[in-house]
Amino acid sequence: MPRTVDHGERRSELTDAVARIAARDGLQAVTMRAVAAEAGVSLRLVQYYFENKHGLLIGAMRRLEEQSNARWRARLSNTADPRAMLHAFISEALPTDPESTDFYRVSAAFGELARTDTELAAEPLAGGLTRLRSTVLDTFRAADLPPDADPEAETDALISLCNGLSTAVLLGHHTADRAVAIASYHLDRVFR
């Protein structure tokens, strides 16, 4: 009797291998052969699921984004309070654990690569940022902010602050705990 293969699971195994290589060694180290070796499968199997490196990279970024969104949703499931929801965003947006650190490393590298690769730049992955911004904006709008607060500006400020702090953590300028404290301080000032 032939073995049943879960193609979605197999693709996930391969894109997880891409993410591990990219986080550890950089995107330049991602090759079809390297992914096969990392995943413990044949090169032909990688080629069966992904036509080229571009497809591997897109698949890996989509998978990382899905995982990040799932972690954030899990944190949000415990609260309906907008302030607590925004603190949950901070906890996921900053590189505070191996998963969020890998996500930020790979997404930053992907963003740099997409800057010069028109094919990658055309991918709908930017939709992830649009969805993220929309969720954070909706949360600010639902919050009890001071009358002079601008939810759109606060959304952009918090996302930008978290991006900058994430880079500072990866470069060793701040610890993850310090970055969380800075972003939380900012958020507390918004809610004054």
pLDDT band at 124 (very low <50, low <70, confident <90, very high): low
Residue 37 lies in a domain: no
Burial of 10 (0-12, 13-18, 19+ CB in 10 A): middle
pLDDT tops 80 at residue 122: no
pLDDT tops 70 at residue 77: yes
Which pTM does this prediction carry? 0.82
Residue 74 lies in a domain: yes
Contact 192, 186 (CB under 8 A): no
> Can you give the CATH number for the domain in which 134 is found?
1.10.357.10
Q: How far is Cα 56 from Cα 53, in angstroms, rounded to an integer?
A: 5
Share of the chain above pLDDT 70, in %: 96
Number of domains the chain contains:
1
pLDDT tops 90 at residue 74: no
Name the residue range of residue 150's domain.
62-191
Q: Which position has the token pair 């790979």?
A: 106
pLDDT tops 60 at residue 126: no
Residue 51 lies in a domain: no
Residue 187 lies in a domain: yes
pLDDT band at 12 (very low <50, low <70, confident <90, very high): very high
Residue 33 lies in a domain: no
Q: How far is Cα 88 from Cα 72, in angstroms, rounded to an integer?
A: 7
Residue 142 lies in a domain: yes
Mean pLDDT value of segment 76-93: 87
**Nearest one of 63, 12, 65 to 41, comparing CA atoms:** 12
**Nearest one of 191, 177, 17 to 106, comparing CA atoms:** 17
Residue 156 lies in a domain: yes
Residue 152 lies in a domain: yes
> With the C-alpha atoms ordered 138, 125, 92, 170, is the resulting torsion angle positive or negative?
negative
